[in-house]
Structure 1
Amino acid sequence: MSSDALTAPRVYLADTWQASIARDAILVLGGTAFITLSAFVTIPLPFTPVPVALATLAVLATGASLGALRGALSAGLYLLFGALGAPIFSDGQSGVTFPTFGYVIGYVIAAIVVGQLARHQADRKMSTTLALGTLGSIILYVCGVPWLAISLGVSLGQAVILGVVPFLIGDAFKILALSALLPSAWRIVGKVKPERDGSGR
């Protein structure tokens, strides 16, 4: 690896390593694996079919760290494998007909939006990372609630009570964790592998 590769300006945390097709493929598959493993960390709630899931935090972190394209591919592969029958969604679910599949669709969209924000360095300060995480969480709600309502045959208002209200506090903690982790990771990377001035690819 050349000294230019080591000091080249990076857009995303994943750009710490020298660019190559193999690197990007490994990052995408690694992102899919990260989301998959996190989806198994759930806390079921007796009053709603929507569990507390670590996967939402994993999706936001993946989108910000890998960028819009690679993050969306990671989330998209997760969606594809599960839709085709792999029991990798929360609670070991698969297919597309279960009540929380709308949130999985939201994973792809959130990864794109969060990745675009990270491209503009929104993941490098705590304040902007808070905004990044909040917007990503809102996207998950916007995608998940209508699907939940249709799947359960309830009103949108009832779906909000089932699929948003119980998770506001938990998601706030996830956003706080994200806003601490990402800027800290950037500071560590900046010390280990300094970049030359400039931004963008």
Structure 2
Amino acid sequence: MALARNDKVLTEVFGPSEGTALRVKQVLMVVLGIVALAILAKIKVPVPGSPVAMNMGTFAVLTIGATYGPRLGLTTIMGYMIVGMLGFDVFQSSTADLNGLSYMMGSTGGYLMGYVLATLALGFAARAGWDRSVLMMGGALLIANALIYLPGVAWLSVLYGNSLTWAVSVGLVPFLIGDALKLGLAALLVPGVWKLIGKARS
């Protein structure tokens, strides 16, 4: 399936599609996306031996990328980054004392960069129609997840001055099972909603 297609993404199926009403809808979607990212990022489980916790923020990123499309998805994820950069407590382990740029340059900094890449990749994949099929959606999600881990693991290695092998062992391997569950859920959820829409309109 080529990426040259210009299919609608899921959120474009609902609500107004032009004019001022569309702009209002898009603003609301961006705000809701940022709020969802902030809430789900705080749902976390510490991983022994790793400076990074397992959290549901990844699921939010993947879902937003797959349902918002590249432009609105990028706007949402960058809005989230800007809110965090301004010092608001929206990141996984940010606190009143550790926030803003200081937090973003810490152990999760590479993963935050990966969030942006993953959102774009999934947005373009959804625009190409990959979100209509569980198999294609699963492939897009695997690519997006890899785009989160590549800068995430690389930055851990640089930040702590350890080898890439060490960074992989603490920044990737402990999260594989949890990520498999999150990817599986997203791969079923988005195409499933498309099928429900098709049945409702038939």
Q: Deviation string for 1:26-52 (max 9, x for gaps)? A: 111111111111101000112101111
For the pair 1:138 / 2:121, whether they are aligned, the reply is no
Q: Which residue of 2 aligns with 1:171?
A: 179
SS of aligned partner of 1:90: coil
Give the Å deviation of 1:10. Answer: 6.3
* 1:114–1:136 contact (8 Å) kept in structure 2: yes
Partner amino acid, structure 2, of 1:159: A
Q: For residue 3 of structure 1, what is the aligned residue in structure 2? A: none
Equivalent residues of 1:102, 1:146 under 8 A apart = yes
CA–CA distance in 2 between the matches of 1:30 and 1:153?
Answer: 38
CA contact (8 A) 1:126 1:179 kept: yes
**Aligned with 2:105 (options 97, 101, 122):** 97
User: Which deviations, in whole Å up to 9, do the C-alpha atoms of 1:103-157 show, x marking residues without a partner?
Assistant: 1111111101100000011111110111011011000001211111122221122
The TM-score with structure 1 as length reference comes to 0.87
Distance 2:127 2:7 in 1: 9
Give 1:45-194 correspondences, 5 Å limit.
45-93=47-95, 94-95=99-100, 96-192=104-200, 194=201
TM-score, normalising length from structure 2? 0.87
| Root mean square deviation of aligned Cα | 1.6
Q: Deviations over 1:53-111 (max 9, x none)?
A: 10101101001100011111111111111122112110235232211111111111110
Q: Give ranges in structure 1 of 5+ residues lacking alignment.
A: 1-8, 196-201
Instruction: Supply the distance in 2 between the matched residues of 1:184 and 1:61 (Cα, whole angstroms).
Output: 13
Letter in structure 1 aligned against 2:23: I
2:15 paired residue among 6, 14, 17:
17
Mapped contact 1:134–1:175 kept (Cα < 8 A): yes
CA contact under 8 A between 1:126 and 1:180: conserved in structure 2?
A: yes
Distance in 2 separating the partners of 1:150 and 1:79: 21
Q: Which runs of 4+ in 1 moved over 6 A?
A: none
Structure 2, unaligned runs of 5 or more: 1-5
CA distance in 2, matches of 1:64, 1:186: 12
Contact 1:44 1:50 in 2 (8 A): yes
- Aligned residue pairs, count: 186
SS at match of 2:159: helix
